[in-house]
């Protein structure tokens, strides 16, 4: 197969690398234009572009996917198949070009979790498994006929970033298997089956912790939003990002849990690293935290560096510049 690969997110990188190591030919890569990225906001290429250029593959970075010059360039490359992994929505003028159609790799078991944020929503909703799906793109987002699916268990304390990294590797293998099957004629698309659900983009404000919520929900929220856009609370007027947590067993919560206000620190032991916070129901054990402008720390590291004491409150007030 002669392929044109579309991708911009780091989730795309394992798939591109896998295809470049296969018997198929990646004729070109389409990715987002260079933009300011990272803390310093320096103009940088995507990780996909870096990999493609390192392998000597031509790269296209269109601003407008309907630009006549871009469409002419795509058609002139003579691709059999387009492959999309974590890219923009393609217009019909693009996805209908190749004779074998356009295959998309999606990080869920479609039709569950259609949309741009399937991994965080799977964790937030308490799913025990998710997976990847390859399907043929049509005009309605994430609704095309399925080619292959692979199931993946969600680990108990896994963050969205960790799960996404695992799904990227499984997805790369599944994508190659899909293309092999299409090339041999042994793989045939089938309609999506089951109840559809949606995974809209996570907004930064959704990460603000409401400690009156149950501990199970809060622990999932913290992991679902890690590393981006991040769950956060306020401690002594300062922003504190939370990256990993678990709901503590009821027997591990102090008797004060019944009378303390949500957000109250019940236990802060620098020796054991135990940091328990009262929730609306039960309490949350914080495992990884990040003070504003600092690196991510384990709870023991945080407790050794910051004076947290039982009775302190999380989420009482934001810094004045965030109020």
The partner residues of 149 in beta bridges, in order of sequence, read 133
DSSP per position, 234-301:
EETTEEEEEEEEEEPPGGGS-GGGGTSPTTBEEEEETTTTEEEEE-SBSEEEEEEEEETTS--EEHHH
| Residue 258: per-residue pLDDT | 62
| Residue 249: per-residue pLDDT | 83
Range of the domain at 138: 2-184
For residues 6 and 31, the answer to whether their CB atoms sit within 8 Å is yes
What CATH code is carried by the domain that includes residue 283?
3.10.25.10
- Asked if 152 and 65 sit in the same domain, the reply is yes
CA 106 to chain centroid: 11
- The answer to whether position 199 is within a domain reads no
| Residue 322: per-residue pLDDT | 47
- Please give the structure tokens belonging to residue 309: 């004491």
- The answer to whether position 110 is within a domain reads yes
For residues 37 and 49, the answer to whether their CB atoms sit within 8 Å is no
Q: What angle do CA 215, 219, 220 make, to 5 degrees?
A: 120
- The answer to whether position 27 is within a domain reads yes
| Residue 254: per-residue pLDDT | 60
- The answer to whether position 193 is within a domain reads no
- Asked if 27 and 175 sit in the same domain, the reply is yes
| Count of domains observed in the chain | 2
**Cα–Cα distance between 80 and 25 in angstroms, integer?**
10
**Strand order of the sheet with strand 59-60?**
59-60, 25-30, 2-7, 81-85, 102-106, 129-136, 146-153
Torsion angle of the four alpha carbons 256, 262, 263, 268, in this order, in degrees rounded to the nearest 10? 20
| Residue 323: per-residue pLDDT | 44
- Asked if 152 and 89 sit in the same domain, the reply is yes
The partner residues of 273 in beta bridges, in order of sequence, read none
**Cα–Cα distance between 90 and 137 in angstroms, integer?**
9
Per-residue pLDDT tens digits of the chain, which is 323 residues long = 999 999 999 999 999 999 999 999 999 999 999 988 767 778 899 999 999 999 999 999 999 999 999 999 999 999 999 999 999 999 999 999 999 999 999 999 999 999 999 999 999 999 999 999 999 999 999 999 999 999 999 999 999 999 999 999 999 999 999 999 999 999 999 999 999 999 999 999 999 999 999 999 999 999 999 999 999 999 988 999 999 999 998 776 766 566 689 999 999 998 899 999 999 999 999 999 999 889 999 999 999 999 999 999 998 566 554 44
- Asked if 111 and 208 sit in the same domain, the reply is no
| Residue 315: per-residue pLDDT | 86
What CATH code is carried by the domain that includes residue 174?
3.40.50.12230
- Asked if 173 and 125 sit in the same domain, the reply is yes
- Asked if 76 and 213 sit in the same domain, the reply is no
CB burial readout 103-125, b (16+ within 10 A) else e: bbbbbbbbbbbbebbbbbbbbbe
């Amino acid at each position: 197969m002669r392929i044109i690969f579309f991708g911009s997110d780091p989730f795309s990188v394992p798939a591109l690398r896998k295809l470049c190591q296969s018997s198929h030919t990646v004729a070109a890569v389409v990715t987002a234009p260079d933009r300011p990225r990272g803390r310093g906001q320096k103009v940088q290429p995507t990780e996909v572009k870096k990999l493609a250029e390192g392998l000597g593959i031509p790269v296209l970075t269109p601003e407008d996917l309907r630009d006549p010059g871009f469409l002419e360039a795509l058609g002139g490359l003579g691709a059999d198949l387009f492959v999309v992994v974590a890219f923009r929505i393609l217009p019909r003028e693009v996805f209908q070009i190749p004779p074998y159609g356009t295959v998309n790799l999606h990080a869920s078991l479609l039709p569950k979790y259609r949309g741009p944020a399937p991994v965080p929503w799977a964790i937030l909703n308490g799913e025990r498994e998710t997976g990847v799906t390859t399907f043929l793109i049509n005009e309605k987002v994430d609704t095309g006929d399925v080619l292959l699916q692979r199931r993946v268990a969600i680990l108990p304390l896994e963050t969205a970033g960790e799960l996404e990294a695992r799904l990227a590797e499984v997805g790369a293998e599944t994508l190659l298997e899909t293309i092999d099957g299409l090339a041999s004629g042994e793989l045939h698309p089938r309609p999506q089956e089951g109840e559809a659900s949606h995974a809209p983009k996570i907004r930064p404000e959704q990460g603000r912790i409401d400690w009156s919520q149950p501990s199970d929900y809060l622990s999932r929220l913290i992991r679902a939003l890690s590393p981006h856009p991040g769950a956060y609370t306020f401690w002594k007027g300062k922003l504190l990002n939370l990256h990993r947590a678990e709901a503590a067993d009821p027997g591990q919560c102090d008797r004060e849990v019944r009378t303390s206000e949500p957000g109250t620190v019940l236990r802060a032991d620098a020796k054991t690293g135990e940091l328990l916070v009262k929730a609306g129901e039960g309490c949350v054990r914080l495992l990884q935290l990040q003070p504003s402008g600092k690196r991510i720390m384990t709870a023991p590291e945080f407790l050794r560096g910051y004076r947290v004491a039982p009775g302190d409150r999380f989420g009482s007030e934001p810094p004045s510049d965030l109020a």
